[in-house]
């Protein structure tokens, strides 16, 4: 709301230039620069609250301390999330790894991929994980038209509901490029935006060591971690480095006192729509 109001005020000030009204120009230029900077951060940061509420970390109190152990550690909770699936064989391997470590996670799935592999979506839910909406087609940039955005998100909702039996409230913006139109659509659909606190940039070609280093070096208590089990809507991309990294990341974070939750468990927001 504040962003929309400031945009209207700034537009009126800019029109004054063309109407011949001359306010203090330097002040106007400063306002334009500040508005542009804030807008760019809102579009490119999945922590920014400029366009509306984005859940990127938990706000609940830290979890109780683990049993005494040698050395000092951090006590808190984090959430593992995986984008762009489901995609075989990698989603299945991620699920096997999570089961081996006794960890639950949240999967932000692409509707087209759910349509191609509904059994994977069913398995995710059956094994105690949760699903989020990551759009139907994973567009790099959503068109600004409300109808175009809502149709894409709704198509993914239908695919998830057919495969898993419920419609999620959680949505994650493809490529992390946010805009006010998307937030307006989500609000109207009763959904919420989920960002991240730590990411491995494993959507690109990456080594296992890089994934481990980036996550362990940046995660903080309450953080939502972004990883990938698929690839921009294309089935069959290689996510082996991410899967191998999980076998190091999970034990390392547990040793520091972290526990793992789903996003709904971390942020205290119900994921399933009524």
Active site residue: 83, 84, 152, 229, which one?
A: 83
Cβ(158)–Cβ(253) below 8 Å: no
Residue labelled with tokens 């999570």: 98
Helix (H, G, I), strand (E, B) or coil at 58: coil
Active site residue: 84, 228, 229, 232, which one?
A: 228
In terms of Cβ atoms closer than 10 Å to its own Cβ (0-12, 13-18, 19+), residue 28 is middle
Cβ(83)–Cβ(172) below 8 Å: yes
**Is residue 83 annotated as part of the catalytic site, yes or no?**
yes
**Is residue 138 annotated as part of the catalytic site, yes or no?**
no
Catalytic residue list: 83, 228
């Amino acid at each position: 709301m504040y962003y929309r109001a400031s945009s209207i005020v700034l537009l009126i000030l800019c029109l004054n230039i063309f109407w011949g009204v001359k306010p203090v120009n330097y002040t106007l230029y400063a306002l334009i620069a500040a508005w542009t900077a804030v807008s760019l951060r809102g579009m490119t940061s999945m922590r920014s609250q400029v366009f509306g509420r984005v859940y990127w970390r938990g706000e609940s109190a830290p979890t109780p301390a683990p049993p005494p152990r040698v050395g000092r550690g951090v006590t808190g909770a984090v959430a593992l999330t995986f984008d762009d699936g489901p995609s075989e064989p990698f989603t299945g391997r991620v699920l096997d790894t999570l089961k081996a470590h006794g960890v639950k996670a949240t999967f932000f799935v692409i509707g087209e991929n759910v349509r191609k592999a509904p059994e994977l979506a069913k398995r995710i839910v059956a094994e105690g994980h949760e699903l989020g909406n990551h759009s139907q087609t994973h567009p790099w940039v959503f068109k600004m038209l409300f109808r175009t955005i809502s149709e894409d998100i709704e198509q993914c909702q239908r695919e998830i509901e057919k495969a898993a039996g419920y419609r999620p409230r959680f949505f994650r913006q493809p490529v992390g490029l946010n805009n006010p139109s998307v937030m307006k659509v989500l609000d109207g659909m009763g959904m919420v935006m989920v960002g991240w606190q730590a990411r491995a940039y494993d959507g690109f070609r990456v080594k296992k060591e890089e994934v481990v280093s980036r996550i362990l070096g940046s995660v903080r208590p309450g953080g939502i971690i972004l990883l990938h089990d698929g690839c921009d809507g294309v089935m069959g991309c290689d996510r082996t480095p991410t899967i191998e990294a999980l076998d190091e990341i999970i034990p390392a974070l547990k040793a520091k006192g972290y526990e793992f939750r789903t996003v709904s468990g971390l942020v205290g927001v119900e994921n399933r729509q009524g």
